[in-house]
Amino acid sequence: MYYQLVNNKRQGPFSLDQLQEMARQGTFTTASIVWYPLQGKWQWVEARKIIEFVKVFRTIENEAIKAAKLEAREIRREVAEGKRPPTTVIAVGGGKGGVGKTSLTVGLGLCLAAMKYSVILADCDLGGANMRTALGLPEPQLTSIDFFIHNKAEVTQLLTPTGVDSLQFISGHGGVLGLANLKYSQKLKFINQLKKLEADFVLLDLGAGTSYDVLDFFLASDRGVLITCPDPFSLESAFGFLKTAMYRGIARSFSSDEIIYRHIKKQMDRAFRMTMFQFLTELRVESPESADIVWKYLAAYPKGLILNMVRQRDEIKAATELIAEASRQLSVKVELLGQVSYDAIVRKSTLDRSPFVLTQPTSKASRDLLKIVSEKLLPRRHVEGPALQRWAIRQMRQVSSQRQRPFSSNEY
């Protein structure tokens, strides 16, 4: 039997089965304090340090992951049968900070909204959110912390108006310790709920780096888009991000395959110095079936690249070299979605807390983004090429003129 410390008061006794049920309900967590004989001495100990409780939490998490995957499969089935309209989730990452992920994600969302698509922007930079600043919005009453940490909100309750028709926003929460390294099941549940929303597109703005949270959101989306700049540091970071993401995806997708997992572990021990081709070659020697499964996984996930802050045409060569390197070392196909020219108006709009696509829809950067959206992100439409761009620019001007005054904090 066990006792739990809650608000400095002892509760219990509880059996292991009772604690397991409490864990499912969220009243017993890894941070719970338990009266336990650790190293031969009775003392108050965090549950995460007790092996039998770790097994309980692992069992519950595996159950939650299985349930989330079944839900995702059901959503895909309903879409395929026409019972649910499709919602495309696009994750925007890239590894390095300062390459313009947030500004471009907002810009892509505004271009889609200008074309009359319903769009949701979701700030998934957990603990360092800044998308609301780029949109010129105050912090809403409910943010992702209420979904991931406090468990007191559904995704539908997080939706915030932006003042732009067809565009809604889900805010992250900046500067909050603990809003990171979420349970994998939570991230899958979040994506599933996003796919149930009435939206054509959901754009996820990911944080910098290659934390599990960033990688898992990237991999759980329908399409991953890398943002990078022509400088060597940004390009190297983007390549490293993609490499880490692919191995994370393989490890997560085939965790029950002992052969694949063993070869992934071998790669870890070698600091991932081998190319993906070498990894697949070794894997194929032991199990051709497993190698084929991994190969199909690598080929199935759509990956795109946007080169930002381009000053000269010869800088585009850097992006093509990165794509070639990804193909050679990672055995993955990356599509160059396009480039966005360096434009001083982008920095000015950031300082003014107003998206450049709205304030300057005819700027070079806005036109570049619009081209990427119309030619690469959208299915073919009855209006194409320059005609579509001119039409969409008129729509953005209209959106800009109709946008409400800046929000005040009491409007939520």
Q: Does residue 135 share a domain with residue 26?
A: no
CB 191 within 8 A of CB 139: no
What the block records as the tokens of 123 is 């700030």
Helix (H) or strand (E) holding 321: helix 316-325
What is the structure's pLDDT at 406?
45
What is the structure's pLDDT at 402?
64
Intervals of the chain under pLDDT 70? 174-180, 379-389, 402-412
What is the structure's pLDDT at 405?
47
Stated pTM of the model: 0.89
Count structural domains, the chain: 2
Burial class (CB in 10 A: 0-12, 13-18, 19+), 289: exposed
**Domain CATH code at residue 9:** 3.30.1490
Q: Is 270 inside any structural domain?
A: yes
Q: Does residue 187 share a domain with residue 56?
A: no
What is the structure's pLDDT at 148?
86
What the block records as the tokens of 353 is 């807390």
Q: Is 264 inside any structural domain?
A: yes
CB 389 within 8 A of CB 374: yes
Distance CA 180, CA 341 (A): 33
Q: Is 70 inside any structural domain?
A: no
Q: Is 245 inside any structural domain?
A: yes
Q: Is 72 inside any structural domain?
A: no
Q: Does residue 282 share a domain with residue 389?
A: yes
Q: What domain range includes position 13?
A: 2-64
What is the structure's pLDDT at 403?
63
Q: Is 10 inside any structural domain?
A: yes
Q: Does residue 242 share a domain with residue 98?
A: yes
Residue type, 16: L
What is the structure's pLDDT at 408?
38
What is the structure's pLDDT at 172?
87
Q: Is 76 inside any structural domain?
A: no
Q: Which of 198, 201, 109 is nearest to 156 (CA)?
A: 198
What the block records as the tokens of 294 is 């991994």
What tens digit of pLDDT does each residue of 76-104 get?
Answer: 999 999 999 999 999 999 888 889 999 99
What tens digit of pLDDT does each residue of 354-406 get?
Answer: 899 888 888 999 999 999 998 898 865 544 556 666 777 777 777 777 664 44
